[in-house]
Amino acid sequence: MNKRTLLLLLACTTVTVYAQKGKKSKVVIKPRTEFVTELMGKMTVDEKIAQLVQFTADGTVTGPKSGSNFINEIKKGNVGSILNATNVQYTRQIQEVNLANSRLKIPLLFGYDVIHGYRTIFPITLGETASWDLNIARIASEVAAAEAAASGVHWTFAPMVDISRDPRWGRVSEGAGEDTYLGSKMAFARVKGFQGNSLKDLNTILACTKHFAAYGAAEAGRDYNTVDMSERLLRETYLPPFKATVDAGVATFMTSFNEIAGVPSTGNKWLVNNILKGEWGFKGFVVTDYTGINEMIPHGYAKDEQHAGELALTAGVDMDMVGAVFLKYTKKNLEEGKVTQAEIDDACRRILEAKYDLGLFEDPYRYNDAKREKETIYKKEFLDAALNAANKSMVLLKNSNNVLPLKKEQKVAFVGPLVSDEYNIIGSWAATGDRNGYAVSVQEGINKFITDKSKVSFNKGVEIKDTKRDNIQAALKAAANADVIVAVMGEFENQTGEAASQVDINLPGIQKEFLAELKKLGKPVVLVLMNGRPLTLGWESENMDAILEAWFPGTMGGDAIAQTLYGVNNPSGKLPMTFPRSVGQVPIYYNHKNTGRPYLGASDPEQKYKSRYTDSDNSPLYEFGYGLSYTTFSYGNLKLSTQKLSPNGKLKVSVDVKNTGNFDGEEVVQLYVKDVVGSVTRPVRELKGFNKTLIKKGETKTIEFELSPDDLRFYNIDMKFVAEPGDFEVFVGGSSNADLKSTFELVK
Ligand code: GLC
């Protein structure tokens, strides 16, 4: 059914409902437990099961067609939640149909993927994470929540907290990269941003931590593929960001499509009931991913949908996204003793409590205020926040001979397939972001910045993937007359995000060939990248004079790129994920193990029998935590408050960071720790702290960190989460290659 038909249907329904509206009695709200207990005492089994059912409206398609006619299901009283319906009018109309057919007037919950903005779009979350600024992450989520809540959305399916070490996997664009510590901090900040101090506030929404769990470890980087790992790796690397969101008070979780060691997460009792709801004490509700219950059949874990429904509910899943399995089989499973009434009640209670916390029982239409929607969307402060986030997410990868920042008096030829793009610039999962003109393209950003139009020219030259060469000559001609060439290149937005894995992570199409033609002109060439994953940039890193990683920078992206290229913004971002030399190195990440035959590089006296490639260096092209600035920083005077840390002691680490260049700049000072010997092998180093700070040119700042034995814990040989006495090394610097080192001992 298309939206127009639906609205006509709804219109007649609305009249009916309207006529009844006068009967609506004001619900007297009692304390939550009392209210929900009373309500559940009146509910039939069918009404309870309906709360466990989510269908998709037809606003956005985010999975295989569900085939459900969601309006009819609502009219039959079969639905507790709807996803993919947005704006106050559409959600109001659907809610009215629901309340007209709900005996107990239980409101629907409206969910939507508000990942990095609702209408004002921020950089993709991988880019936001590159800011290494937790306030940026929180504010981006606050703005997203304010716009979504003003538009009838109660619940976002975010933050996505999947750690990933594999850029072939398209969904790296939605997460916080490869590191557990950084990812956990970002996850916590994003939940706080979405949910604020109270879910009753009209500018906050339920957050949803996804995808539980280890979805980012899909074999071969192929989406939805098998995940198999030790419990130690799962608990040490992949679970902490999820736990961080529980500590932040996240209201909901979403299970992942993948299996872990043979058990699909959607039916994984150990993962959901034992760890999430048991060990971690999670009190919110768990929704599956899109038809995740049904997919346990092709997984070979459920023999049919009824069995799949039993496995999901008994595992601790509370809501069925789009699969209609809970709707069709829960009562039968109850009658056959395969699920219990207590399991149904627990799931129902958790969902009703979330609706209560949002204030929906007091007023199901409190998020449906058209005036507030109009006043909230695209507020100037939101656009300013998006610009700031985009600026702070920029990562300068190369800047030979300080070709950047550009000078206004220079003649600059802007070329490349994304030079005037307003569609891809807001990235994938851009909710209701405007792809047809509202976003600021690079060309628009530059034109706002450079008043003398004779100084700049704009020619695409080539497309992103299409290999047509019609426009190359015009672009080369313009470039030949310029002092500097800026090539704005990258990927389509849909080359990353869901169902977007790739074996080839080079610049697509003939973009690299075009760069080679530009280079022949003998002018400095600056490459600006818009992409959702680490790319393999070996040739570019050799042949470009400067490289600026802009990610998909969002609604204000063109302004941010212009301000960065011309030095108004001094780039301060650092990579949240390793950029490999070759896709053959993947998975590649900084906190790897040392092995028994670590390769020490060209200086290694043993060049053959070492853990290395014969056709590539082991090192990445650009390491985790790497990023340049228009200025330079030097590190020195690393000091530890003690060389012996006692079991209940604290260790202060301080370092002096001097701005030795000609620009004020922000530096992300990073602290890494190595546990030299453990009852199991330990990574060569792990991020244990970071501090982003502004250091004016010529200024020296002393940055301090504090470590405690708790920061040194890991799952030992007996799977106990402990810190083991012994020697540790501390590294401090501006990337994971930091070599300023000291040592200490954790004593018994
Ligand atoms: C999709 C995605 C998930 C999203 C959900 C609802 O399949 O895996 O991240 O939140 O469906 O759109």
In SS3 terms, 293-353 reads as: CHHHCCCCCCCCHHHHHHHHHHHCCCEEECCCHHHHHHHHHHHCCCCCHHHHHHHHHHHHH
User: Which part of the chain has CATH 3.20.20.300?
Assistant: 207-338
Nearest residue by C-alpha to atom 12 in ligand 1: 62
Query: In terms of DSSP bridges, do strands 259-260 and 53-56 run parallel, antiparallel, or are they unpaired?
Result: unpaired
- Ligand 1 atom nearest to 113, measured from its CA: 10
Query: In terms of DSSP bridges, do strands 644-645 and 525-530 run parallel, antiparallel, or are they unpaired?
Result: unpaired
Positive or negative, the CA dihedral 619, 624, 630, 633 is: negative
Q: What number of CA atoms fall less than 13 Å from residue 294's CA on the CB side?
A: 14
Which pair of structure tokens corresponds to residue 61?
């398609």
Q: Measure the CA–CA gap between 375 and 447, rounded to whole angstroms.
A: 29
Which pair of structure tokens corresponds to residue 154?
């109660």
Mean pLDDT of 265-269: 98
Active-site residue, from 289, 318, 421, 675: 289
Confidence label for 26 from pLDDT (cuts 50, 70 and 90)? low
Q: How many angstroms does the Cα of residue 289 sit away from the middle of ligand 1?
A: 6
- Ligand 1 atom nearest to 210, measured from its CA: 9
Fold classification of 207-338 (topology level)? TIM Barrel (3.20.20)
Q: How many angstroms does the Cα of residue 154 sit away from the middle of ligand 1?
A: 16
For 688-739, the pLDDT digits (tens) are: 999 999 999 999 999 999 999 999 999 999 999 999 999 999 999 999 999 9
Residue 147 scores a pLDDT above 50: yes
Tell me the percentage of the chain whose pLDDT exceeds 70: 96
Q: Which of 115, 124, 206, 289 to probe ligand 1 with, by most ligand atoms within 8 A of CB?
A: 289
For 380-438, the pLDDT digits (tens) are: 999 999 999 999 999 999 999 999 999 999 999 999 999 999 999 999 999 999 999 99
Residue 267 scores a pLDDT above 80: yes
What is the model's pLDDT at position 64? 75
| Domain 633-746 CATH (choose: 2.40.50.140, 2.60.40.10, 3.30.365.10, 1.10.10.10) | 2.60.40.10
- Ligand 1 atom nearest to 157, measured from its CA: 10
Query: Is residue 703 classed as helix, strand or coil in its secondary structure?
Result: strand
Tell me the CA end-to-end span of the chain in Å, nearest whole number. 69
Nearest residue by C-alpha to atom 8 in ligand 1: 289
Cβ count within 10 A of residue 53: 26
289 is catalytic: yes
Q: Which of 61, 65, 157 to probe ligand 1 with, by most ligand atoms within 8 A of CB?
A: 157
Confidence label for 25 from pLDDT (cuts 50, 70 and 90)? low
- Which residues surround ligand 1 with Cβ inside 6 Å? 62-63, 83, 113, 157, 210, 289-290, 498
Q: Which one, of 418, 606, 640, lies nearest residue 507 by Cα?
A: 418
The pTM (predicted TM-score) of the whole model is 0.96
Q: How many angstroms does the Cα of residue 572 sit away from the middle of ligand 1?
A: 32
State whether CATH 3.40.50.1700 applies to domain 392-584.
yes
- Ligand 1 atom nearest to 158, measured from its CA: 10
Q: Which of 81, 498, 501 to probe ligand 1 with, by most ligand atoms within 8 A of CB?
A: 498
Q: How many angstroms does the Cα of residue 51 sit away from the middle of ligand 1?
A: 19
For 166-180, the pLDDT digits (tens) are: 999 999 999 999 999
- Ligand 1 atom nearest to 257, measured from its CA: 8
Which pair of structure tokens corresponds to residue 302?
């459920």
Query: Is residue 572 classed as helix, strand or coil in its secondary structure?
Result: coil
Residue 497 scores a pLDDT above 70: yes
Cβ count within 10 A of residue 709: 19
Q: Which one, of 211, 180, 167, 185, lies nearest residue 128 by Cα?
A: 185
Q: What number of CA atoms fall less than 13 Å from residue 650's CA on the CB side?
A: 5
User: Which part of the chain has CATH 2.60.40.10?
Assistant: 633-746
Q: Measure the CA–CA gap between 392 and 283, rounded to whole angstroms.
A: 35
Q: How many angstroms does the Cα of residue 487 sit away from the middle of ligand 1?
A: 34
Nearest residue by C-alpha to atom 3 in ligand 1: 289
Q: How many angstroms does the Cα of residue 213 sit away from the middle of ligand 1?
A: 14
Residue 352 scores a pLDDT above 90: yes
Query: Is residue 422 classed as helix, strand or coil in its secondary structure?
Result: coil
Q: Which H or E run contains 1?
A: none
- Ligand 1 atom nearest to 254, measured from its CA: 10
Residue 14 scores a pLDDT above 60: no
Q: Measure the CA–CA gap between 237 and 183, rounded to whole angstroms.
A: 10
Q: How many angstroms does the Cα of residue 4 sit away from the middle of ligand 1?
A: 25
Cβ count within 10 A of residue 219: 12
Q: Measure the CA–CA gap between 672 and 688, rounded to whole angstroms.
A: 5
Q: Measure the CA–CA gap between 368 and 356, rounded to whole angstroms.
A: 17
- Contact present, 24 and 361 (Cβ < 8 Å): no
Q: How many angstroms does the Cα of residue 314 sit away from the middle of ligand 1?
A: 22
